Amino acid sequence: MRRLEAVPASVDTVVVGNGPAGISVSMALSGWWPKYLGPHPDLGLHTRLAAGPKYLLERDPVPLCEGLKGRSDNPMALLFDALLHPEADTGRPGRSCIAMERQEHRAVPHLVLGRGAPGGSWNRMPQPMLSLSPGYWMELPGWSLFAWARSHTRWLDPRARVARSDVGAYYRDYVEHMGLAPHHRPDVQVTSAVRDEAGWVVEGHSGSATFRVACKRLVLATGMYDRTKWLKVPGEDLPFVTHRPPLEGEGPLLVVGAGLSAADAVLVARHAGRPVVHASIDDPEATPMAGLAPDHYPEYRELLEAMQGPGGEGYEPLLRTSLTEIRSDGACHLETPEGAVWRSFAQVAVLIGSLPDLSFLPPASRGDGERIRVAPYTFRTATPGLYAVGPLVGDNFVRFLPGHAFGVARDVVLNPDAPGLGAWGEGVPGLPV
């Protein structure tokens, strides 16, 4: 094994994960600080913001966040979402109330380690599919999706759903446009993160090259897409069984699951003219598809209706059906309300959800394996020197991730010598210690 020379021996902060959460943290740690421009349509918020230092990270966030409500439980996420996209939930967002300015003296030496290209799971999703959210919900501060499209001589309406391939390309280009690329190391796998007296020692590899980097702080931005859930039935490890899209191949396909990943797999296969049997144990009206507005998500509404009816051309729904065994010849044992049957398929896709891969951490630092508890304004975990952002702490919408990033950056910059304090040893939340 040779050492990966692109990774330094030490750095102040290491970020694990290079999806939009990790990119946002990198942006904030690179010295991009938000300045309030105003006015905000919420008069109370505007009044609080108009007085005090111009850079928001120099302010005490607790009074600024007072009374804010929305689709996130985190006050920092709500604050910066309200400022970046005022009245976002109306479908007609107002002009951003924030200007991003580069403060070189605020920059923190850091590394972002990701398994693939910047953008994380957005590069692994079915690329022709449209995003669930409107484009502006997935923008990061400092460079809008509209401006990105214009840089490619295209016009794009950020209020509409956009191709997932465009979202992934936007994140990759954002890293370059905002000057973050020197901090990013794509295509690396983190295998170990151990805490010592000085901070953390992070190890991993890229191909045959290994790396070892020491840091004061470690930020978890891994998302929830790395480790797929399994049914744990016989034959589930056969080569024609997959647990994540995109799906490739021909012949009859069995899709197991009722979430949006399973729905996407069905939609892509049907578009390709591939026969699909769709097995699920959930009531269709209790699936995520049922909560989507028909006018904005017609393809999911059509699939939901097909699930509850006789299906459609090349599509057969099997409700309240469990897959219990898979044989090497493609035969699958299905438990249906009418009894057990054997059906043969060329490929089986078990798409029942995913979990974060935190196996590189000490067990005591992994939370419950799905979510990690953090302090609301700093995103510190109970483990000294460890932060967590993004879906790991319960925010699945990209629009809320800048608030996470600015919370981490504010704590790191204003408390440079206090990385040893855990989330519940910091006194008043959000204030320098």
Write out 76-140 in H/E/C secondary structure. Answer: HHHHHHHHHCCCHHHCCCCCCCEEEEECHHHCCCEEEECCCCCCHHHHCCCCCCEEEEEHHHHCE
Confidence of residue 417 (pLDDT cuts 50, 70, 90): confident
Rounded to an integer, the average pLDDT of 180-189 is 95
Rounded to an integer, the average pLDDT of 34-43 is 89
Is 109 found in the same domain as 19?
yes
Confidence of residue 429 (pLDDT cuts 50, 70, 90): very low
Q: What percent helix, strand, coil does the chain show, rounded to 5?
A: 30, 25, 45
374 in a domain, yes or no? yes
Contact (Cβ atoms closer than 8 angstroms) between residue 96 and residue 82: no
User: How far is it, in rounded angstroms, from Cα 316 to Cα 318?
Assistant: 7
Contact (Cβ atoms closer than 8 angstroms) between residue 111 and residue 185: yes
Residue with tokens 């951003």: 96
Backbone phi, psi, residue 6, to 5°: -70, -10
The mean pLDDT of the chain is 89
433 in a domain, yes or no? no
Neighbour-count burial of 119, counting CB atoms closer than 10 A to its CB (0-12 exposed, 13-18 middle, 19+ buried): buried
Is 293 found in the same domain as 198?
no
Is 173 found in the same domain as 275?
no
189: helix, coil or strand? Answer: strand
Contact (Cβ atoms closer than 8 angstroms) between residue 239 and residue 245: no
Q: Which domain holds residue 398?
A: 2-225+356-425
Rounded to an integer, the average pLDDT of 324-351 is 96
Contact (Cβ atoms closer than 8 angstroms) between residue 304 and residue 287: yes
Is 391 found in the same domain as 340?
no
Is 94 found in the same domain as 176?
yes
pLDDT of 428: 35
283 in a domain, yes or no? yes
Last residue of a domain, one of 309, 330, 353: 353
pLDDT of 355: 87
Contact (Cβ atoms closer than 8 angstroms) between residue 184 and residue 112: yes
Q: What CATH number does residue 306 fall under? A: 3.50.50.60
Is 267 found in the same domain as 382?
no
Question: Between these two residues, 200 and 70, which has the higher pLDDT value?
Answer: 200
pLDDT at 426 over 50: no
Beta strand 315-319 pairing with 276-280: parallel
252 in a domain, yes or no? yes
Last residue of a domain, one of 353, 377, 400: 353
- Residue 373: partners with Cβ closer than 8 Å, 6 or more residues away: 367, 381, 382, 393, 423
Contact (Cβ atoms closer than 8 angstroms) between residue 21 and residue 390: yes
Question: Between these two residues, 172 and 260, which has the higher pLDDT value?
Answer: 172
pLDDT of 420: 56
380 in a domain, yes or no? yes
Domain count, the chain: 2
pLDDT of 315: 95
Question: Between these two residues, 234 and 425, which has the higher pLDDT value?
Answer: 234
pLDDT of 292: 84
pLDDT at 42 over 80: yes
Q: Which of 67-71, 89-93, 389-393 has the highest mean pLDDT?
A: 389-393
pLDDT at 246 over 80: no
Closest residue by Cα to residue 384 from 413, 421, 348: 421
Gyration radius of the chain's alpha carbons: 23
pLDDT of 182: 95
Beta strand 184-185 pairing with 161-163: unpaired
pLDDT of 102: 94
Last residue of a domain, one of 293, 323, 353: 353
Confidence of residue 427 (pLDDT cuts 50, 70, 90): very low
Rounded to an integer, the average pLDDT of 400-422 is 85
Strand stretches in 239-336, DSSP E: 241-242, 253-256, 276-280, 315-319, 322-326, 331-336
Is 175 found in the same domain as 103?
yes
Rounded to an integer, the average pLDDT of 229-245 is 94
Q: Which of 259-273, 321-335, 391-405 has the highest mean pLDDT?
A: 321-335
188 in a domain, yes or no? yes
Is 174 found in the same domain as 83?
yes
Is 151 found in the same domain as 46?
yes
pLDDT at 430 over 60: no
Beta bridge partners of 130: 163
Is 368 found in the same domain as 277?
no
260 in a domain, yes or no? yes
User: How far is it, in rounded angstroms, from Cα 394 to Cα 197?
Assistant: 30
Backbone phi, psi, residue 324, to 5°: -115, -15
224: helix, coil or strand? Answer: coil
User: How far is it, in rounded angstroms, from Cα 80 to Cα 33?
Assistant: 12
318 in a domain, yes or no? yes
Confidence of residue 432 (pLDDT cuts 50, 70, 90): very low
223: helix, coil or strand? Answer: coil
Is 242 found in the same domain as 346?
yes
Is 50 found in the same domain as 38?
yes
